[in-house]
Structure 1
Amino acid sequence: MTVLLLAGIVFTLILLTKQRDIASVGIVRNITHKLKSRSLSTNYWQTGIMLFAANTALFALAFVILFFLPYGAIAGLMMCIPLSLFTWVIFSEVWRGSRKDKVKMAFVGNSFFLFFLGWIFWYYATLEPAYPGDDLFMAWIGVIIASIFTIGAMSVSMFVMLRK
């Protein structure tokens, strides 16, 4: 599992260094060209809500892959990380408004991760042992790992969205 985590981190770093190249790919240019003429490109509430929905859908896809497919962690790393970066680059490229509104849009869209982080902490705070003497140490480790992944995903998303 550690090897998969390190591979995912390295893969993410490689994709982050190539995000300018991703933004110039033909399919990204075609999608952004079609979306720039809509109010989606200047209204930070609409774009933020769409980004929130995209983050929710990406999380649901990752959840389904991880828990319902054999070798889901490997497939998740190979598919969900580039798909997330691709989606965030598209939202970043579509934006035509001011920098201040782009920051607002990014915060509205990435509030999904804050809600998820709140749910993680609420779940752990209300967790009860299954039987007397049950140790909740492994649940605590799960909370720490989920928090790290959530904060990491939110940080990468903000970095991609707010780049110049």
Structure 2
Amino acid sequence: MTVLLLAGIVYTLILLTKQRDFASVGMVRNISHKLKGHSLSTNYWQAGIILFVANAALFALAFVILFFLPYGAMAGLCLCIPLSLITWMLFSEVWRGSWKDKVKMAFIGSTFFLFFLGWIFWYYATLEPAYPGDDLFMVWIVVIIASIFTIGAMSVSMFVILRK
């Protein structure tokens, strides 16, 4: 599990350092060129809500891959991390409004991660032991790991979207 975590961190760092190259890829350039004329490129509410839905859809895809496919964690790392980064870069490239509105759009889109973090803490706070004397220490470890991943995903998304 530790090797998988380290591989995911290294993979994400490599993708982050190469994000300028990804932004110039034909697919991202074509999609951003088609969306530049829409209100999506200047209305931070619409862009933020669509980014929120995209984050939720990518999370659902990662969840399905992780729990329903053999070796799902590896497939999830290799598929969902680049899809997330490309989605966030696409929104960064499409945006034509002011910097202040871009920050608002990024915050609205990343609110999914705050909701998920709140759900994690609510789940732990309302969790009851399965039997008397049940130790919930392992659940606390999962809460810490899930919190780190959620805060990391939110930070990376904000970094990618708000880059100059």
TM-score normalized by the length of structure 2: 0.99
Q: Distance in 2 between matches of 1:37 and 1:2?
A: 45
Show the counterpart of 1:134. 134
Q: Distance in 2 between matches of 1:139 and 1:5?
A: 18
Show the counterpart of 2:63. 63
Helix, strand or coil for the counterpart of 1:110?
helix
Q: Distance in 2 between matches of 1:15 and 1:139?
A: 31
Q: Which amino acid aligns with 2:51?
A: L
Q: Distance in 2 between matches of 1:27 and 1:126?
A: 45
Show the counterpart of 1:99. 99
Helix, strand or coil for the counterpart of 2:96?
coil
Residue 44 (str. 1) matches residue 47 (str. 2): no
Show the counterpart of 1:154. 154
- Unaligned segments of structure 2, at least 5 residues: none
RMSD, matched Cα: 0.4
* TM-superposed deviation, 1:6: 0.5
User: Where do residues 65-80 of structure 1 align in structure 2 (5 Å cutoff)?
Assistant: 65-80=65-80
Residue 88 (str. 1) matches residue 88 (str. 2): yes
Q: Distance in 1 between matches of 2:63 and 2:152?
A: 16
Q: Where has structure 1 moved over 3 Å in runs of 4 or more?
A: none
* TM-superposed deviation, 1:84: 0.5
Q: Distance in 2 between matches of 1:116 and 1:37?
A: 33
* TM-superposed deviation, 1:148: 0.3
Show the counterpart of 2:35. 35
* TM-superposed deviation, 1:109: 0.3
* TM-superposed deviation, 1:42: 0.1
TM-score normalized by the length of structure 1: 0.99
